[in-house]
Amino acid sequence: MNAKKDRKEIGLAVVGTGTIGKIRAVFARDYPGVGWIGVCDINESLAKKVAEETRADFWTTDYKELLKRSEVNATIVSTDENNHVGPILAAVERGHRLFIEKPLATNVQDSRMVYDAIRKSGVDTVIGYTNRFRRRFLAIKEKLRTGEIGEVTTVTTRAFMNRMVPLATLRRTSEKTNLQPMVVSGTHSLDMSLWLMEGKEPVELYARSTDKVLGPIGTKDATFGIFTMSDGTIWSMNISWALPIVWPGAVYGLEIGIVGTKGVITVDDTHRDLVLASEKPQWAGYRPEGYHPEYERHVEFLTSYPPGDIAFGQLWGPMREETNAWFSRIYMGMETPHATAWDGHRNLVLTMAMGLSAERGVPLKLPLDEEEFA
């Protein structure tokens, strides 16, 4: 950890002030190492509103105007998924430390270009995978790291989501081809599984998809896949993000089973242990700007919104820990479990490979030549 005299005050740019960008900007306002905040959004009224709420020093609708400010030395990129590339490259060019909401990009070619630019520049970059900062997964990671269940041989991963996320995500853009369940949301469970299996490399993949519900809006309902790892470990993972809007989970319900030669770890992260039922309509957590669900929800699985929960006017939970850990990483030199830029690129390639295998109906040998995605 750096000595106190070596610490340089953070001048932060937040590009994209929707749901997640706003959350992180609020955390920045309260972090003592952040001395300057600028925010940007193409929605002028939203940018101005978030600037007022976070007491930002500057706001604009043009990310280039924000990133060229001399005060900025760190950038959060939290725009819509299809609009990450421009702000990332502009921040890399100026040598900013980076926090990027997943994914790096929504196609493999752009993701490779962005990753290569980050690698060549040497700028410290992390990707937003909030689950890595949840206590239960940190505890599991430690047990695996210290060999408590021996050598891992089998892993199963299952994710359930109601369809509010795809409905809200796809309505914002006409570029829908790559906004598939694995690429947008399954990437979280894929990242978690690979982080827990650290050191194991996938060498073969077979996947299938279905689209009976969400096909008309340009995406799949679900994707299931089986990976074979280089050491013979087998891993099955799937996600369905087409559950009805009235499904009580705010976003994610995850189950993971990890079998080793000397033990087993099972994770029930479906949030069914805290249930609220009310005559009043419920809409916990996920509230994208301008999106209104078609049906009322009266039952909620509490704590199922990945960033955390509002209490006493503040958000408490893993996104607070993840964001503040990043501030401590760049302000004090603290080691953190954030996903790296390489993790982000690898995750996109694997999630898109699942789509490619499902489309072709055949197993794929890994790693793939990235030209396969052209």
**Residue 2: predicted pLDDT:** 45
Residues of the chain with pLDDT under 50: 1-2
Q: Which residues pair with 40 in a beta bridge?
A: 15, 60
* 31-35 own/partner pairs: CB under 8 Å, 24+ apart: 31/324, 31/327, 33/7, 33/9, 33/327, 33/328, 33/331, 33/332, 34/9, 34/10, 34/327, 35/9, 35/10, 35/11
CA 68/CA 14 separation, integer angstroms: 13
Instruction: Centre a 10 Å sphere on the Cβ of residue 168 and count the other Cβ atoms it contains.
Output: 18
- CATH code matching the domain that covers 134-309, chosen among 3.30.420.40, 2.60.120.560, 3.30.360.10, 3.30.70.60: 3.30.360.10
Maximum Cα–Cα distance for the chain, whole Å? Answer: 59
**CATH code linked to domain 4-123:** 3.40.50.720
CA 287 to the chain's CA centroid: 16
| C-alpha gyration radius of the chain | 20
* Paired tokens of 294: 């078609």
Neighbouring C-beta atoms of residue 305, cutoff 10 Å = 22
Q: How many helices (H) does the chain have, and how many strands (E)?
A: 11, 18
Domain with CATH 3.30.360.10 in the chain: 134-309
DSSP annotation of 369 reads P
pLDDT at 199: 93
Query: 149-161 as b/e, with b when 16 or more CB fall inside 10 Å?
Result: beebbebbbbbbb
DSSP summary character for residue 298: -
Those residues whose C-beta lies under 8 Å from the C-beta of residue 318, and which sit 6 or more positions away, are 130, 131, 133, 134, 306, 307, 308
pLDDT of residue 283: 74
The answer to whether the CB of 74 falls within 8 A of the CB of 326 is no
Predicted structure pTM score: 0.91
How much is the pLDDT for 250?
A: 78
| Parallel/antiparallel/unpaired status of strands 97-101 and 309-311 | unpaired
* pLDDT score for 256: 97
The answer to whether 99 and 344 are in contact (CB under 8 A) is: no
Residue 80 has a CB neighbour count (10 Å cut-off) of 17
Domain with CATH 3.40.50.720 in the chain: 4-123
What pLDDT does residue 6 have?
Answer: 65
